[in-house]
Amino acid sequence: MRIFVTGASGWIGSAVVPELISVGHRVLGLARSDASAKAVAGMGAEVLRGDLNDLDVLRAGALDSDGVIHLAFVVPSVSEAATQTDAKAIETFATSLAGSGKPLVVSGGTLVRPGRLATESDELVAAGPIAARITNMQAALAAADRGVRSCLVMLPRSVHGEGDRHGFVPQLIAMARTKGVSGYVGDGAGRWPAVHVKDAAGLYRLAVEQAPAGAVLNAVGDEGVPVREIAEAIGRHLDLPARSLAAGEYEGMLVHLLSTDMPASSTITQELLGWKPTHPGLIEDIEQGHYFMALSGGPFSTTH
């Protein structure tokens, strides 16, 4: 298959593209800059220059391919501008692929069902601070009614692995270094689902190859890692104590993420596609030490 991938040079895309190529697929990767184009070409993919606002480019990429994996998003991803851009991109892909039976794989986030495992069967309800993103996920699934083999890959809070420099674990490490303590909120019992980036890449490949229209797939390796255990693993490597901090010590989404119980299951996904996570879980990955190494050999950089 020839697969058009947006976000091809990003954190997840840089794992998905080699995964696709390794089994014989050809990849057309969207690149908005010279640096991104160089990275995409370096992975063995063909480059299509443009960004998510270039709807004619997105249309051409979709029409020239056997399927689309949509990974790119505008930062911050929950802003009105970002969600509107994403909505237009998804509609462009759905219209371009209508009636073809070709796959459209769109990224989402695992749902939050405090006190129990979120599953692939849970209803997508457009409510709360990410209502607009949920609406976009619903639109992607609705493309199945237009003859598109559309599906969602729901990513957990931590997509981890060597090379992760902008996720929540690096943020927690940077905060621990600044504050001199590896913190968590409350008793730290809230759980994060997580997946290794290479396991996630394998699921995206299976999704574009064989997921049925309208499928919701959870890319979950660890169903729920207590945030206290994450803080303790970080503290061990930094030789810092792990203890509870007031919610006011945290900024932005971290307050919600550290104080909410949000475990998720991938049992249905594994049974449907035969996907099996095989790479290290989150705590094991942190213990390997690469998160604490610099990009160039010095202290970890927090500059994004």
Taking the domains of the chain in order of start, what are their residue ranges?
2-157+195-218
Instruction: Give the residue among 45, 85, 56 at the shortest CA–CA distance from 37.
Output: 45
Residue 240, helix vs strand vs coil: coil
Give backbone dihedrals phi and psi of 250, rounded to 5 degrees, phi first: -110, 155
DSSP state of 13: H
Dihedral sign from CA coordinates of 75, 85, 52, 64: positive
* CA 180/CA 118 separation, integer angstroms: 34
Name the 3-class secondary structure at 186.
coil
pLDDT score at 66: 98
SS3 assignment, position 116: coil
pLDDT at 175: 92
Whole-angstrom distance, CA of residue 111 vs CA of residue 119 = 8
Residue type at 151? C
Lookup result for tokens 């919600």: 256
How far is 40 from 71, CA to CA, in rounded Å? 14
What's the whole-model pTM score? 0.92
The series of mean pLDDT values per 10 residues for the chain, 304 residues long, is 96 97 98 96 97 96 97 75 92 97 96 92 83 91 97 96 91 93 93 97 98 98 97 96 89 80 97 98 96 52 28
Chain CA centroid to CA 277, Å: 15
pLDDT for res 192? 94
Report the pLDDT value the prediction gives residue 81, as an integer from 0 to 100.
85
Strand 182-185 to 242-245 pairing: parallel
- Quick one: 2-157+195-218 is in which CATH superfamily? NAD(P)-binding Rossmann-like Domain (3.40.50.720)
